[in-house]
Copies of this chain bind each other. A is one copy, B any other.
Protein backbone atom coordinates (compact mmCIF):
# COMPACT_ATOMS: atom_id res chain seq x y z
CA UNK A 1 0.00 0.00 0.00
CA UNK A 2 1.33 3.42 -0.98
CA UNK A 3 0.90 6.10 1.66
CA UNK A 4 -1.72 8.71 0.66
CA UNK A 5 -2.20 12.10 2.27
CA UNK A 6 -5.18 14.39 1.64
CA UNK A 7 -4.80 18.19 1.60
CA UNK A 8 -7.96 20.28 1.59
CA UNK A 9 -8.35 23.57 -0.27
CA UNK A 10 -11.12 26.18 -0.22
CA UNK A 11 -11.46 27.90 -3.58
CA UNK A 12 -11.67 31.67 -3.15
CA UNK A 13 -13.09 34.50 -5.32
CA UNK A 14 -9.61 35.74 -6.16
CA UNK A 15 -8.58 32.28 -7.37
CA UNK A 16 -11.10 32.61 -10.21
CA UNK A 17 -10.75 34.47 -13.51
CA UNK A 18 -13.16 36.54 -15.62
CA UNK A 19 -14.71 33.29 -16.88
CA UNK A 20 -15.73 32.65 -13.26
CA UNK A 21 -13.64 29.47 -12.90
CA UNK A 22 -10.35 28.67 -11.16
CA UNK A 23 -7.44 30.21 -13.05
CA UNK A 24 -5.25 27.17 -13.70
CA UNK A 25 -1.91 28.35 -12.23
CA UNK A 26 -3.68 28.29 -8.86
CA UNK A 27 -4.01 24.51 -9.14
CA UNK A 28 -0.20 24.32 -9.24
CA UNK A 29 -0.04 26.60 -6.20
CA UNK A 30 -2.25 24.15 -4.31
CA UNK A 31 -0.42 21.10 -5.62
CA UNK A 32 2.87 22.53 -4.40
CA UNK A 33 1.31 23.01 -0.97
CA UNK A 34 -0.04 19.44 -1.08
CA UNK A 35 3.46 18.19 -1.95
CA UNK A 36 5.00 19.82 1.12
CA UNK A 37 2.04 18.82 3.28
CA UNK A 38 2.64 15.20 2.27
CA UNK A 39 6.17 15.28 3.72
CA UNK A 40 5.03 17.04 6.90
CA UNK A 41 2.27 14.45 7.44
CA UNK A 42 4.84 11.68 6.95
CA UNK A 43 6.94 13.18 9.75
CA UNK A 44 9.63 14.92 7.69
CA UNK A 45 10.75 18.18 9.39
CA UNK A 46 10.05 21.48 7.59
CA UNK A 47 12.66 22.64 5.06
CA UNK A 48 13.78 25.41 7.43
CA UNK A 49 15.03 22.61 9.73
CA UNK A 50 16.35 20.22 7.10
CA UNK A 51 18.33 23.12 5.61
CA UNK A 52 20.21 23.29 8.94
CA UNK A 53 20.41 19.56 9.64
CA UNK A 54 21.22 18.11 6.21
CA UNK A 55 21.41 20.92 3.66
CA UNK A 56 18.02 20.06 2.11
CA UNK A 57 16.21 23.25 1.06
CA UNK A 58 13.14 21.89 -0.70
CA UNK A 59 11.85 19.65 -3.49
CA UNK A 60 11.83 21.65 -6.73
CA UNK A 61 10.00 20.42 -9.79
CA UNK A 62 11.75 18.87 -12.80
CA UNK A 63 8.78 17.67 -14.90
CA UNK A 64 5.03 17.93 -14.58
CA UNK A 65 2.06 16.61 -16.52
CA UNK A 66 -1.51 17.60 -15.71
CA UNK A 67 -5.01 17.00 -17.11
CA UNK A 68 -8.05 19.10 -16.31
CA UNK A 69 -11.42 17.36 -16.50
CA UNK A 70 -13.93 19.57 -14.65
CA UNK A 71 -13.97 23.24 -13.68
CA UNK A 72 -14.18 24.54 -10.09
CA UNK A 73 -15.29 27.90 -8.72
CA UNK A 74 -15.26 29.85 -5.48
CA UNK A 75 -17.06 28.24 -2.61
CA UNK A 76 -15.88 24.79 -3.73
CA UNK A 77 -13.85 22.69 -1.30
CA UNK A 78 -11.28 20.45 -2.98
CA UNK A 79 -9.40 17.43 -1.68
CA UNK A 80 -5.95 16.77 -3.10
CA UNK A 81 -4.95 13.11 -2.75
CA UNK A 82 -1.15 12.86 -2.82
CA UNK A 83 1.25 9.92 -3.11
CA UNK A 84 4.83 9.20 -4.03
CA UNK A 85 4.45 6.53 -6.68
CA UNK A 86 8.11 5.96 -7.59
CA UNK A 87 11.57 6.50 -6.08
CA UNK A 88 14.63 6.97 -8.29
CA UNK A 89 18.27 7.63 -7.34
CA UNK A 90 18.15 11.40 -7.43
CA UNK A 91 14.44 12.09 -7.94
CA UNK A 92 10.93 10.82 -7.18
CA UNK A 93 7.50 10.80 -8.80
CA UNK A 94 4.69 12.47 -6.88
CA UNK A 95 1.07 12.13 -8.05
CA UNK A 96 -2.05 14.12 -7.22
CA UNK A 97 -5.77 13.70 -7.77
CA UNK A 98 -7.76 16.86 -7.09
CA UNK A 99 -11.31 15.89 -6.13
CA UNK A 100 -14.49 17.79 -5.23
CA UNK A 101 -16.07 14.99 -3.27
CA UNK A 102 -16.55 12.26 -5.89
CA UNK A 103 -15.81 14.48 -8.90
CA UNK A 104 -12.27 14.49 -10.26
CA UNK A 105 -11.33 18.07 -11.18
CA UNK A 106 -7.76 17.46 -12.37
CA UNK A 107 -4.84 15.09 -11.92
CA UNK A 108 -1.12 15.73 -11.97
CA UNK A 109 2.09 13.68 -12.09
CA UNK A 110 5.40 15.30 -11.20
CA UNK A 111 9.10 14.48 -11.06
CA UNK A 112 10.82 16.33 -8.21
CA UNK A 113 14.30 16.34 -6.68
CA UNK A 114 15.67 16.94 -3.21
CA UNK A 115 17.66 20.17 -3.59
CA UNK A 116 20.68 21.63 -1.82
CA UNK A 117 22.36 25.00 -2.32
CA UNK A 118 25.05 24.89 -5.00
CA UNK A 119 28.37 26.60 -4.41
CA UNK A 120 28.30 29.84 -6.40
CA UNK A 121 24.49 30.14 -6.39
CA UNK A 122 21.56 28.11 -7.68
CA UNK A 123 20.61 24.61 -6.53
CA UNK A 124 21.72 20.99 -7.11
CA UNK A 125 20.05 17.57 -6.71
CA UNK A 126 20.96 15.44 -3.66
CA UNK A 127 20.74 11.65 -3.55
CA UNK A 128 17.32 10.68 -2.18
CA UNK A 129 17.79 10.67 1.62
CA UNK A 130 17.12 7.11 2.87
CA UNK A 131 15.40 8.23 6.07
CA UNK A 132 12.96 10.43 4.15
CA UNK A 133 12.22 7.62 1.71
CA UNK A 134 11.50 5.37 4.66
CA UNK A 135 9.11 7.82 6.26
CA UNK A 136 7.17 8.46 3.04
CA UNK A 137 6.70 4.95 1.62
- Chain A residues in contact with chain B, CB under 8 A? 10, 12-14, 16-21, 23-26, 28-29, 32-33, 36, 40, 46-48, 57-58, 60-68, 71, 73-75, 115, 121-123
Contact = CB atoms under 8 A, between A and B. Distances in A.
B19 A29 contact: no
Contacts of A121: 48
Contact of A18 (B24, B57, B66, B67): B57
A24 B27 CA distance: 12
A13 B32 contact: yes
A68 B62 contact: yes
Contacts of A10: 33
Contacts of A21: 60, 122-123
Protomer copies? 4
Interface of A, secondary structure class, is mixed
Contacts of A71: 60, 122-123
A75 B61 CA distance: 20
A10 to B, nearest CB: 8
A17 B68 CA distance: 20
A66 B63 contact: yes
Contacts of A68: 60-63
